[in-house]
Amino acid sequence: MSITKLLNTNHVRWMDAEGVLESDIVISSRVRLARNLDKVPFPHLLNNESGQESLKAIKEAWEKSNYEGLKQLDLLTFDQIGDLDRQILVEKHLISPNHAGSSDGFRGLMVNCSGSMAIMINEEDHLRIQCLLPGLQLEECFKEVIKLDDAFEETLDFAFDDRRGYLTSCPTNVGTGMRASMMLHLPALSISGQAAYIFQNISQLGMTVRGLYGEGTEAQGNFFQLSNQVTLGQTEEDINSNLIAITEQIVEQERLLRTKLISEMKYQLEDRVGRAYGILTNARLITSKEALALLSDVRLGADAGIIKNIKIEGLNELVVAIRPAHLQKKVGREMDATQRDVERAAVIKEKLLASQGING
Amino acid sequence: MSITKLLNTNHVRWMDAEGVLESDIVISSRVRLARNLDKVPFPHLLNNESGQESLKAIKEAWEKSNYEGLKQLDLLTFDQIGDLDRQILVEKHLISPNHAGSSDGFRGLMVNCSGSMAIMINEEDHLRIQCLLPGLQLEECFKEVIKLDDAFEETLDFAFDDRRGYLTSCPTNVGTGMRASMMLHLPALSISGQAAYIFQNISQLGMTVRGLYGEGTEAQGNFFQLSNQVTLGQTEEDINSNLIAITEQIVEQERLLRTKLISEMKYQLEDRVGRAYGILTNARLITSKEALALLSDVRLGADAGIIKNIKIEGLNELVVAIRPAHLQKKVGREMDATQRDVERAAVIKEKLLASQGING
């Protein structure tokens, strides 16, 4: 079963980096569509009975469909897995923290074996169809979610209003029901202080910036999630091309600044990268926050050729492998914060020394 | 010539550690005697002519003596070597910073090839006879300086007053003219904050505490130089046994605290040591102050068995090899602070990786 595999390995599709467009700066692209069943109460109003009906309708649409992309998904309801496994799914960006909080039998997840396609069932909306791919692949993500959307629509009636578009549980999603986002790694813009300046003004462009785990999370490890704020009055295509254009500008600025750092502050940069690598490969205790900050420096060093033989894919995996649920899943028991700091340090050391090789 | 060798290698005798008593905590023991020629003005009153006379008298005593310990010394006057080389001698603890400031032809140094015996000529006093040995060997140091003192007295008349003892340029040395000191490495007492408490009250015992380079220097790298303050009204033997007794008490407290750290804060200690090792072996730029602090942690780790295969002797050498004059001597040119930080990082990395081996 796809989900069992996803729960027991670190790797999911968005962590790939080789041969992926802009993967040194754009970690991943993501599109999700919010869809609701017509004439069924929104999920926050569901009780067990109406929830089961909603789930049943979705399940039937899945079973009836001939679309390969839908048939290859597994379906799992949250009464079948424990809290820790749901947290694992959050840490891999396959479900939301909010969705993970429930063990209701009418809530769940449909997912493919690589984790690139994931559909939350009865989260904030009846369906949240997500495609998550590595690098700059927003249009590919959009194509995939639209295909799934179409496949469901063969059977299901979605709540739709001719004037307002798709109706959603939260008014901020009404219209396209689409959220498109890019996860960006911007160490040079952060170090120089320019990231704050850029992102201050981004809301005027209908965009918003969040941290590694979306809404309400801090931008740790110089990771920034850039997404559309507006869902109404623009087509999906316009939203996506707008987001891509802004992303490309940011990527260009990050590249320029990296080149400047390398030429003007060579020793300081090598020092920063070297120290990060030295601490990560020798610490015995490390918090998640510090680890992400140091992994950001190591990643910059790998991108700049200061550290050789470190795979970006491995660094992407580490970002997830050092989270609390993944650490506890690996060890097979609950751990307090200090125990996790010990285990986290061990996981990082092992991974970095396996790929190896600082080049002074 | 002994001095040429001493200027071109890092190692001097006090850096030895193997088979030396208490060498994990007591880096070195040192005794120096201040002696002045009778009826010759003190050095600060010397001009070139009277200075040359003072030097000549000392040189003659050296040449006439049959004592092996005196015959095996080399004599070098400061018109023969440059500023950088005199700084090298300071950094090795063979002459004082004050003495290094002069290039007068009547000032100089007598030294043996291991650097354990060193006599400053026409520094603050006409003769400053020093013996510097690794570990807790204060009595051995005293024996050696007394033998040299006796050898000189066969020929020279020293300024001596029956009531006051040996007369010296500075009144704080009158009496025995002796300064005995121990260089201690006290990381556990420092980390716990107890070092400050102990040393606050040490002056009441006729003792004083200084940093790595004596008077007026800060205690960097958790190195503390403990020495007698009083030179009058006590015999040399009493001063030495007093200093040894206090040192042994401090050593015992340091040992107790280390055991406590290892048993109660195992992870934190391993983390501290690991990070220090990681930074030292991967930094590209490092200041002397930071390097000494981290080398202190690595040394503690080596003593505690957390890091294997690191020789204490090599760490002692590093404390000197990372000083400005040694770095510039090695590279063969003057360097600014940043260039020294780069070279210092390279020297440390090379030395630590040569001995190798962190044990997580």
Q: Is the pLDDT assigned to residue B224 strictly greater than 90?
A: yes
Separation CA A20–CA A132 (nearest Å): 13
Is A349 near chain B, with CB under 8 Å? yes
Give the C-alpha separation, B240 to B236, whole Å. Answer: 6
Q: Are residues B31 and B126 in the same domain?
A: yes
Tens of pLDDT, residues B324-348: 999 999 999 999 999 999 999 999 9
Shared domain for B170 and B27, answered yes or no, is yes
Residue B215 has pLDDT above 70, yes or no: no
Range of the domain at A335: 266-355
Determine, yes or no, domain membership for B21: yes
CA–CA distances in Å: residue A236 to residues A211, A224, B35:
23, 22, 92
Same domain, A26 and A170: yes
Asked if residue B44 is part of any domain, the answer here is: yes
Q: B38 and B159 in one domain?
A: yes
Percent of chain B scored above 70 by pLDDT?
A: 96
Q: What is the pLDDT of residue A357?
A: 46
R_g of chain A computed on alpha carbons:
21
Task: Give B124's DSSP letter.
Answer: S
Q: What is the CATH number of the domain that holds A34?
A: 3.30.590.10
Cα separation, A31 vs A17, in Å, equals 19
Task: Say how far apart CA B239 and CA B13 lie, in whole Å.
Answer: 24
Task: Give B265-313 pLDDT, tens digit per residue.
Answer: 999 999 999 999 999 999 999 999 999 999 999 999 999 999 988 999 9
Across chain B, what does the average pLDDT equal? 93
- The answer to whether residue A36 sits within a structural domain is yes
pLDDT of residue B203: 82
In chain B the first and final C-alpha atoms are separated, in Å, by 45
Q: CA A200 to CA A202: how far, in whole Å? A: 6
Q: Which pLDDT value is given to residue B241?
A: 95
The domain tally of chain A equals 2
ipTM of the complex: 0.90
Do B145 and B32 contact (CB within 8 A), yes or no?
yes
B284 lies within 8 A of chain A by CB: yes
Give yes or no: residues B169 and B300 share one domain: no
Q: Which of B268, B278, B346 sits opposite A282 (nearest CB)?
A: B278
Distance of residue A59 Cα from the nearest chain B Cα, in angstroms: 50
Say yes or no for a CB contact (<8 Å) between A282 and B268.
no
pLDDT value of position A359: 40
- Assess if residue A246 is contained within a domain: no
C-alpha distances (whole Å) from B233 to each of B130, B160, B164 are 22, 15, 9
CA–CA separation, B307 and A355 (whole Å): 23
Does the structure show a pLDDT above 70 at B193? yes
CA of residue B352 relative to chain centroid, distance: 23
**pTM for the whole thing?**
0.92
Which of B156, B182, B208 corresponds to the end of one domain? B182
In this prediction, residue B213 carries a pLDDT of 66
Determine contact: B244 vs chain A, CB below 8 A. no
- Given A167, A182, A197, the domain boundary residue is A182
Among residues B140, B158, B182, the one where a domain terminates is B182
* Distance in Å, alpha carbon of A337 to nearest chain B alpha carbon: 13
Can you give the pLDDT at residue B360?
37
**Distance in angstroms (rounded) separating the CA atoms of residues B27 and B14:** 7
Q: Is the pLDDT of residue B9 over 70?
A: yes
pLDDT tens string for chain A (360 positions)? 678 888 988 899 999 988 888 999 999 999 999 999 999 999 999 999 999 999 999 999 999 999 999 999 999 999 999 999 999 999 999 999 999 999 999 999 999 999 999 999 999 999 999 999 999 999 999 999 999 999 999 999 999 999 999 999 999 899 999 999 999 999 999 999 888 888 888 888 889 998 766 655 567 899 999 999 888 889 999 999 999 999 999 999 999 999 999 999 999 999 999 999 999 999 999 999 999 999 999 999 999 999 988 999 999 999 999 999 999 999 999 999 999 999 999 999 999 998 764 443
d(CA B279, nearest CA chain A) in Å:
5
DSSP designation for A311: -
**Average pLDDT of the residues in B133-155:** 97
Are A139 and A271 within one domain?
no
In a domain, B148, yes or no: yes
DSSP B84-106: HHHHHHHHTTSS-HHHHT---TT
With 0-12 CB in 10 A as exposed, 13-18 as middle and 19+ as buried, what is B59? middle
CB–CB contacts below 8 A, A to B: 63
SS3 state of residue A334: coil
Distance CA A24, CA A17 (A): 8
For residue A268, which residues of chain B lie inside 8 Å, CB to CB? 284-285
Residue B157 and residue B26 share a domain: yes
pLDDT tens digits for range B150-183: 999 999 999 999 999 999 999 989 999 999 999 9
In a domain, A140, yes or no: yes
Distance from CA of A92 to the nearest CA of B (A): 29
